[in-house]
Structure 1
Amino acid sequence: MEKKLGILGGGQLGRMMITPCIDLGVEVYFLDPNPECSVSEFTAHLTVGDFNDYETVLNFGRTVDVITVEIEHVNVEALEKLEKEGKAVNPSSQVLRTIQDKGLQKEFYQNQNIPSPDFRLIKHKASITDFPIVQKMRKGGYDGQGVQILKSATDFDKAFDAPSVLEDLVDLRMEIGVMVARNAQGEVQAFPPVSMDFDPELNLVKYVVCPAQISEELNKKCIQMANSIAHKFELVGIMAVELFVTKSGEVLVNECAPRVHNSGHLTIEGTSISQFEMHIRSVMGFPLPPVSVTKPSVMLNLLGEMGYEGEAELWSETDVLALPEVYLHWYGKKTTRPGRKMAHVTVLRNTVEEAKSIADEIDIDLKVIA
């Protein structure tokens, strides 16, 4: 009998996992609180319920054989119980518990001798005395929320009055992302490192470039670090490893997400296997093939335009989507609001520079409005 896969979360990440599940013959089920979530158009196996509720997650998990996530903020106590009942939870409840709390995550890196920016933990903002500093709420941050730079004492009032991680500012040269997958047999495969450019106001990824324009030595260092982290977590599944490269050449771990990730979306067209298929293979115990770049690519996030809120509509003055090797992925969200992730576009070209030039044109022309 084929094993059933249950996914906690039915957003765009779950939506993009449906096709590889079909290709691999995996029967997939979803749990999401929103009956109109992104996967709802494409599955008859959607349970509407809260993935943070103990009983809901427990009951859902008992109907499938393998449980995975498309968002890390889920009820880990229920997942622990399911593990004790013999269900495969990939990634494990322990990995999710560590990642959910940025304080535990930082302590894990420290204990495992994984280089990461210096930090200290606080309970209240009254403990913030030194500036400039990066403040990260220990729990609940997602898509750029819960992280801010406090440049001077004048920023004290806007500090989060919640348990937080305080990190030293890094003399940053660039941010690199590595998707790395590991299965229960201990096989590990890393994707080619990508570089990430962020929207400074929204603190969200705007562009992802593959392959990252870095030296071969730095490329190897980033992959080795990602592989090491996957092994130390005893990961089963895929993980996004976000790295800081300093101006002095140090490579430091910023944070990790044990799931498919925005920085890996361009793998659908840009690499020999997508992050979504690799994740399904990992959690289901299938072999993990090596990954290569099929063609240089740039991904652009399409966010809800400022000033628009309501029923989502894609607007373009010119027909940029008619260009060759330009791929739109619409997330099926009914409504838009400023800064909401609504879609992404991946551009393939013979060089990264050509792909970035086309992506810049699309950024100017293609808008999500209401």
Structure 2
Amino acid sequence: MIGVGYWGAKQLRVMRGTPGVSSVVAVDARIEHLPDLAHLVAEGRGFTSLQAALPHVDAFVIATPPATHAHLGLQAIEAGKHVLIEKPLATTTADALLLIAAAREAGVTLMVGHTFEYNAAVWMLRDLVQSRELGDLYHLTSSRLNMGLYQSDVNVVFDLAPHDVSIANHVLGQAPSSVTAWGSHHVDPTFEDVAFLRLDYADLGAHATIHVSWLDPVKTRRITAVGSKKMAVYDDTAEERIRIHDKAVLLPDAGSPARKQYHQGAITSPPIAFDEPLAVQARHFVDCAVTGATPRTDGANGLAVVQVIEAAQLSLAEERRVQLDEILTRSLPHSVAALIPTPVPSQRNGKVLRTFAS
């Protein structure tokens, strides 16, 4: 585990209990000064650098600040190690492309930690949309708000929005065509701490609106899907995580003088079996690393989210709508290697993983 801060500590706990993982080591430059983990150094299960851990592991989980993801990921991949990188995959599309190309060439698994795509409630929301139980989808609205935690290297869009972009793409089954973003900074003069994103899915005739904030008194983790027949709310902080509202605006027939009507039906909350998404993700990563299967949240999945976030940054800076194609075009000259990957046949089938750096 590279990085044992708030999120890395959770990953460390989960990886230790994941089937197929015989042992886990921690990698952190501060490890000798961390009371709960310093003992791992003497036991040979704690290291201060990726290079020191290389001979002892088969795979790395990277949970360091976003700006370090590409550098550390490339080091691990070039050493022939499987890699799970916490969101976002990278801070630029160019770096995401380089990671994808490097993993293909090395024949190793590259996976990104879009944890909500391993959440049963999010899958149910996807099923409600994809099955058209809600009717024609009008829009998604997402709110991810809290008091902090302020980051030192990225703004609130890079910190929080990858979750919601990942969910929106997953639920709708595709990436958006354009992004518009606006935001402001109040506490930190450098980074926006409140932001809004609009993702347009032109092929679907729908859009998603995302609100992220480090400056809100109430922790909110909610997504609403509004359709022509019904509406659904996914609330990650509620006991009933999915609530289906049988509500709709009924339109009169074309040419009819009748007015719109409002249908108000029942609210239902289907049962959802709980399986910790982080644990589901960890099991999936180990399975893919052992068998060579393509991860559900592979490099391409991570790239799609990074493109949206980078488009949002450009939109914030230039105060305009940004097409996703523009981001890819800007990135290509800097990622030539990613355009001509040389796949190497994997030799992993049947291999038992020895150790994970988590």
TM-score scaled by length of structure 2: 0.33
Q: Determine which structure has greater relative contact order: mean sequence separation of CA pairs < 8 Å that are 6+ residues apart, divided by chain length.
A: 2
Q: Greater share of strand residues, 1 or 2? A: 1
